[in-house]
Amino acid sequence: MRPIRYRLTLMMMILIGLSMLGAGMAMANVFKDSHIDLQEENMRREINLIQAMMDFPELTGEEAVSYYTDKSKQLRTLADARLTFISKDGVVIGDSESDPSRMDNHLSREEIIQAKAEGMGSIIRYSSTIGEDMIYVALPVKEDGFDGFIRLSMSLKTVDQGVRQGWTVMGGGLIILFVIAAFVSYRVAASMTSPLEKITSVARRITKRDYDARVQLNRKDEIGQLSLAINAMADSLQTQLKTIRDNEDLLQSVLNNMTGGILLLSYDGNIVLINRAAEEMLGIKADHVIGKSYRELRQHYELTKLIEQGLEHRNQIHEERSLYFPVESIVRLDGVAMVQDDGAYRGMLFLLQDVTDIRRLERMRSEFVANVSHELKTPLAAVKGFAETLLGGVQDEKTSRSFLQIIYDESERLNRLIRDILELSKIESKRIAMEYSPIHLSTFFESLMELMQPAADHKKIGLQIQVPEELFMEGDEDKLRQIFTNLLSNAINYTQEGGRVQLTVREIHMIDHGEAVEFIVKDSGIGIPKKDLPRIFERFYRVNKSRSRSSGGTGLGLSIVKHLVDLHHGSIRVESELGMGSSFIIEIPLLQEND
């Protein structure tokens, strides 16, 4: 905007100057040469003064241009002349009137050549920038941060006006009028161009994404309306950008917190987007695969084949595949083609869901139903068979009573089985409430041993108990009674006549839960084969099926024990040697935390 301002000012000054030209022409010529010499001397002194006043820091490139341009504009008023800084290689690095980047190399200018040779250079020539004959004075300057030339230039027309002002009152009045007119014209031009400069500056800041920039003008004219429009545009852009960023943050949060994996591929098979869940499922990092081909997932061969089919045929995919990296899992892959409203194909979107636990639960459910059906079928078949025999007519009373006893025993077995199934179902569905209270363990186990003693006496099995008299713990007394009733009953049932069953209780320290109580139920029974140890807590799993059924077991006792121990935040493990007996070790925290 500055050249426009100067052109407007110059046009008004030229009109005034032409009116003064006739009156001052003659006398100006007489004293022109002497005044020019005096002006050159003044300009030389001003250059020396500028050199003495200025700092010359060591700057290069854009920083140097910015610094010396600002300095030239600041000192322009002091020197009352155009000020130019020129490096020793002729490149203009600062000018009070023009953009240095648009100015030619000045090394061939006559004043520069003369200054380099004689220590000072001066010349009068026509300036294409100003449109006037100018007097140029240049001095070489060598400082720590600057090595080049400082040049001042003044219009000869100003010199002529100065000559006329000194000689005649008329000339002086005309010059004053000329100066006032120049000032007024400059102010008029400035009032027109300065707001436009501000608006242009703000517009440039907005294009550089500085959406906080605003035009600070309080005008009612068209320029004021333009500034208001620029500010409204910036407000709109800022609001839209905030909305876009908020939506991006929301979308990223949704993607990162999805339990399902998202994999987005472009039409040429490059990975465009992958969320955190997909990274975990596939054992990859988004930074390593974004922008690359889906074939980078080569460790998942079956998955890449499905993706290849989807990209090739652009049809929906609903398949399950097993992955073996980073862990073995089953993943369901749902893929759809991404098509724009105009029908343009963008790529494929795949949803990955880890269904490993679902399939495992389905398999467990099927096995459970099969086991329950099998377990119910056996006693029902016995009850039905013996009932049919009785209905057919059995004359022997002793045989009839024997059949009725079998029917009664099998019905009791059915009752225990249904009760244990319901109990296990409640525990696994977490519909069982835990009621913690202080328990005196010595008293607790004494009462429990009274219940176990008749069964032990029947097989001549010795029951031994070692419980510290002063030991208390917090727990659900009914659930603990159920745990140890099952364990002691199993120990008695699987111990031969004349054997022994021992219960030992002591206080220990657990790493995870601090103070805890350790329970050891040890028997001298038949033991458990090593291959069966990992599975004894499974539902309906029996080590010796024929013996278990003859002892009246349902196959659910140890599974119930394991769940009840877990509800007490404890752990259970078994140590056994075939033919030498078994030891069940339970560790339960001394104090319970309410869930």
Rg of the Cα trace of the chain?
51
Pick the CATH number of 258-354 from 2.120.10.30, 1.20.1600.10, 3.30.450.20, 3.40.190.10: 3.30.450.20
Lowest mean pLDDT among 108-112, 221-225, 334-338, 461-465: 221-225
Question: 100 preceded by cis ω (within 30°)?
Answer: no
CB 479 within 8 A of CB 447: no
Flag whether pLDDT at 350 surpasses 60. yes
CB 400 within 8 A of CB 386: no
Pick the CATH number of 359-428 from 1.10.4030.10, 1.10.10.60, 1.10.287.130, 2.70.98.40: 1.10.287.130
- Helices 477-493 and 441-458 cross at an angle (nearest 10°) of 30
284 is written with which tokens?
């990859």
By DSSP bridging, strand 462-466 and strand 500-510 are: parallel
Q: What is the Cα 71 distance to its own chain's centre?
A: 47
pLDDT at residue 550 in the model: 46
Burial label, 295 (beta-carbon count in 10 A; 0-12, 13-18, 19+): exposed
Q: 544 or 354: which carries more pLDDT confidence?
A: 354
Distance CA 53, CA 155 (A): 24
Flag whether pLDDT at 448 surpasses 50. yes
Same fold, 258-354 and 437-589: no
Distance CA 71, CA 82 (A): 12
Write down the H helix ranges in 276-355.
276-282, 286-289, 301-313
Flag whether pLDDT at 587 surpasses 90. yes
pLDDT band of residue 169 (cuts 50, 70, 90) is low
Distance CA 480, CA 441 (A): 10
CB 281 within 8 A of CB 352: yes
Percent of the chain with pLDDT over 70: 81
pLDDT band of residue 160 (cuts 50, 70, 90) is low
Q: 255 or 488: which carries more pLDDT confidence?
A: 488
Flag whether pLDDT at 374 surpasses 70. no
Annotate 447-473 with DSSP letters as a single string. Answer: HHHHHHHHHHHHTTPEEEEE--TT-EE
Beta strands in 470-577 (DSSP E): 472-475, 500-510, 514-523, 571-577
CB 590 within 8 A of CB 474: yes
Distance CA 201, CA 215 (A): 9
* The 3-state secondary structure of 138-153, one letter per residue: EEEEECCCCEEEEEEE
Task: Compute the C-alpha angle 578/581/586, nearest 5°.
Answer: 115
pLDDT at residue 471 in the model: 93
Torsion over CA of 421, 424, 426 and 432, rounded to 10 degrees?
140
- Helices 169-207 and 2-53 cross at an angle (nearest 10°) of 100
* Domain residue extents for the chain: 2-169, 258-354, 359-428, 437-589
Q: Which CATH class is domain 2-169?
A: alpha beta
Element (H, E) at 588: strand 581-589
CB 133 within 8 A of CB 126: yes
Architecture of domain 437-589: 2-Layer Sandwich (3.30)
Average pLDDT value for the chain = 82
The terminus-to-terminus CA distance of the chain in angstroms comes to 74
pLDDT at residue 467 in the model: 94
pLDDT at residue 514 in the model: 80
Average pLDDT of the segment spanning 347-373: 77
Average pLDDT of the segment spanning 35-64: 83
pLDDT at residue 430 in the model: 67
Beta strands in 422-551 (DSSP E): 437-440, 462-466, 472-475, 500-510, 514-523
Report DSSP state, residue 270.
Answer: B
Torsion over CA of 322, 323, 324 and 329, rounded to 10 degrees?
-70
pLDDT at residue 548 in the model: 46
CB 151 within 8 A of CB 137: yes
Q: How distant, in Å, are the alpha carbons of 19, 185, 263 from that of 15?
A: 7, 11, 74
Flag whether pLDDT at 370 surpasses 80. no
Average pLDDT of the segment spanning 288-310: 88
Average pLDDT of the segment spanning 487-496: 91
Question: Which of these, 431, 513, 445, 520, lies nearest to 477 by C-alpha position?
Answer: 445
